[in-house]
Amino acid sequence: FFFFKQKTAYEISRSDWSSDVCSSDLFPSHDTGPIVEKNVGSRKFLLFYLLCGIGAGIIHLYFLTQDLPMIGASGALYGVLLYFTFLKPNEKLYIFFIPIGIKAKYLIPVLLSIEIYLATSSGNDGIGHWAHIGGAIIGTLLYLINDKK
Protein backbone atom coordinates (compact mmCIF):
# COMPACT_ATOMS: atom_id res chain seq x y z
CA PHE A 1 0.00 0.00 0.00
CA PHE A 2 2.75 2.46 0.89
CA PHE A 3 4.51 1.89 -2.44
CA PHE A 4 1.35 2.75 -4.40
CA LYS A 5 0.53 5.74 -2.19
CA GLN A 6 4.07 7.10 -2.38
CA LYS A 7 4.31 6.65 -6.14
CA THR A 8 1.02 8.47 -6.73
CA ALA A 9 1.28 11.27 -4.14
CA TYR A 10 4.92 12.28 -4.54
CA GLU A 11 4.03 15.32 -6.63
CA ILE A 12 2.32 17.11 -3.76
CA SER A 13 4.66 15.89 -1.02
CA ARG A 14 7.55 17.79 0.49
CA SER A 15 10.22 16.58 2.86
CA ASP A 16 9.84 19.45 5.35
CA TRP A 17 8.75 23.07 5.57
CA SER A 18 12.21 24.39 4.72
CA SER A 19 12.05 22.74 1.31
CA ASP A 20 8.96 24.85 0.58
CA VAL A 21 10.46 28.08 1.86
CA CYS A 22 13.92 27.64 0.37
CA SER A 23 13.04 25.62 -2.70
CA SER A 24 14.03 26.84 -6.11
CA ASP A 25 10.74 25.27 -7.25
CA LEU A 26 8.78 28.24 -5.94
CA PHE A 27 10.49 30.84 -8.06
CA PRO A 28 10.00 29.50 -11.58
CA SER A 29 6.41 28.56 -10.82
CA HIS A 30 5.70 32.07 -9.55
CA ASP A 31 7.15 33.69 -12.67
CA THR A 32 6.20 31.27 -15.41
CA GLY A 33 3.14 29.37 -14.15
CA PRO A 34 0.62 32.21 -14.49
CA ILE A 35 1.72 32.91 -18.07
CA VAL A 36 1.32 29.27 -19.08
CA GLU A 37 -2.00 29.06 -17.21
CA LYS A 38 -3.29 32.16 -19.01
CA ASN A 39 -2.32 30.59 -22.35
CA VAL A 40 -3.98 27.21 -21.78
CA GLY A 41 -6.73 28.10 -19.30
CA SER A 42 -7.04 27.14 -15.64
CA ARG A 43 -8.60 23.70 -16.06
CA LYS A 44 -6.26 22.66 -18.85
CA PHE A 45 -3.32 24.00 -16.83
CA LEU A 46 -4.20 21.74 -13.92
CA LEU A 47 -4.35 18.76 -16.29
CA PHE A 48 -1.12 19.87 -17.99
CA TYR A 49 0.66 20.22 -14.64
CA LEU A 50 -0.52 16.82 -13.42
CA LEU A 51 0.44 15.13 -16.71
CA CYS A 52 3.91 16.66 -16.52
CA GLY A 53 4.26 15.36 -12.95
CA ILE A 54 3.00 11.89 -13.86
CA GLY A 55 5.28 11.72 -16.90
CA ALA A 56 8.20 12.91 -14.79
CA GLY A 57 7.49 10.19 -12.23
CA ILE A 58 7.23 7.46 -14.87
CA ILE A 59 10.51 8.44 -16.52
CA HIS A 60 12.19 8.75 -13.12
CA LEU A 61 11.02 5.28 -12.14
CA TYR A 62 12.17 3.85 -15.46
CA PHE A 63 15.74 5.06 -14.94
CA LEU A 64 15.85 4.65 -11.15
CA THR A 65 18.48 2.15 -10.05
CA GLN A 66 17.76 2.19 -6.31
CA ASP A 67 14.56 2.32 -4.32
CA LEU A 68 14.59 5.93 -3.16
CA PRO A 69 11.57 8.00 -2.18
CA MET A 70 10.13 10.42 -4.72
CA ILE A 71 8.99 13.77 -3.36
CA GLY A 72 8.39 17.16 -4.86
CA ALA A 73 7.01 18.69 -7.99
CA SER A 74 10.17 19.76 -9.77
CA GLY A 75 9.51 17.42 -12.71
CA ALA A 76 6.17 19.10 -13.35
CA LEU A 77 7.82 22.50 -12.97
CA TYR A 78 10.34 21.61 -15.65
CA GLY A 79 7.37 20.92 -17.90
CA VAL A 80 6.00 24.38 -17.10
CA LEU A 81 9.42 25.92 -17.78
CA LEU A 82 9.71 24.28 -21.19
CA TYR A 83 6.18 25.28 -22.15
CA PHE A 84 6.94 28.84 -21.03
CA THR A 85 10.13 28.86 -23.09
CA PHE A 86 8.16 28.04 -26.23
CA LEU A 87 5.57 30.73 -25.42
CA LYS A 88 7.97 33.51 -24.40
CA PRO A 89 11.49 32.67 -25.59
CA ASN A 90 12.78 36.22 -25.16
CA GLU A 91 11.32 36.75 -21.69
CA LYS A 92 14.05 37.30 -19.11
CA LEU A 93 14.18 35.01 -16.10
CA TYR A 94 16.23 35.54 -12.97
CA ILE A 95 18.18 33.03 -10.92
CA PHE A 96 18.84 33.40 -7.22
CA PHE A 97 21.79 35.70 -6.51
CA ILE A 98 22.32 36.58 -10.20
CA PRO A 99 21.01 40.11 -10.74
CA ILE A 100 21.00 39.87 -14.53
CA GLY A 101 18.00 38.47 -16.38
CA ILE A 102 18.67 35.68 -18.87
CA LYS A 103 16.35 35.02 -21.79
CA ALA A 104 14.35 31.83 -21.37
CA LYS A 105 15.55 30.49 -24.72
CA TYR A 106 19.12 30.47 -23.34
CA LEU A 107 18.57 29.71 -19.66
CA ILE A 108 16.19 26.75 -19.85
CA PRO A 109 18.25 24.75 -22.39
CA VAL A 110 21.33 25.29 -20.20
CA LEU A 111 19.46 24.08 -17.10
CA LEU A 112 18.13 21.09 -19.01
CA SER A 113 21.63 20.29 -20.34
CA ILE A 114 22.94 20.35 -16.78
CA GLU A 115 20.17 17.95 -15.75
CA ILE A 116 21.03 15.59 -18.60
CA TYR A 117 24.71 15.69 -17.67
CA LEU A 118 23.98 15.06 -13.99
CA ALA A 119 21.50 12.28 -14.78
CA THR A 120 23.99 10.43 -16.94
CA SER A 121 27.16 11.01 -14.95
CA SER A 122 26.49 11.52 -11.26
CA GLY A 123 25.14 8.10 -10.42
CA ASN A 124 22.60 8.36 -7.64
CA ASP A 125 22.89 11.67 -5.80
CA GLY A 126 19.34 11.55 -4.45
CA ILE A 127 18.04 14.18 -6.88
CA GLY A 128 15.41 13.29 -9.47
CA HIS A 129 17.34 14.42 -12.54
CA TRP A 130 15.41 11.96 -14.70
CA ALA A 131 12.16 13.37 -13.31
CA HIS A 132 13.27 16.85 -14.36
CA ILE A 133 14.10 15.58 -17.84
CA GLY A 134 10.83 13.65 -18.01
CA GLY A 135 8.78 16.67 -17.01
CA ALA A 136 10.56 18.75 -19.65
CA ILE A 137 9.84 16.12 -22.32
CA ILE A 138 6.15 15.94 -21.39
CA GLY A 139 5.86 19.73 -21.26
CA THR A 140 7.40 19.98 -24.72
CA LEU A 141 5.11 17.31 -26.13
CA LEU A 142 2.03 18.97 -24.62
CA TYR A 143 3.09 22.33 -26.03
CA LEU A 144 3.48 20.81 -29.49
CA ILE A 145 0.07 19.13 -29.23
CA ASN A 146 -1.61 22.32 -27.96
CA ASP A 147 0.15 24.49 -30.55
CA LYS A 148 -1.32 22.45 -33.42
CA LYS A 149 -4.89 23.10 -32.21
- Over residues 115-129, the pLDDT tens digits come to 999 888 876 677 888
Rounded Cα gap, residues 18 and 117, in angstroms: 27
Q: How far apart are CA 91 and CA 1, in angstroms?
A: 44
pLDDT at position 110 is 92
Q: How many CB atoms lie within 10 A of CB 139?
A: 29
CB 49 within 8 A of CB 42: no
Among 95, 76, 105, 112, smallest CA distance to 31 is for 95
Regions of the chain short of the pLDDT cut 50: 1-10, 12-23, 25-26
Q: What does pTM read for this prediction?
A: 0.79
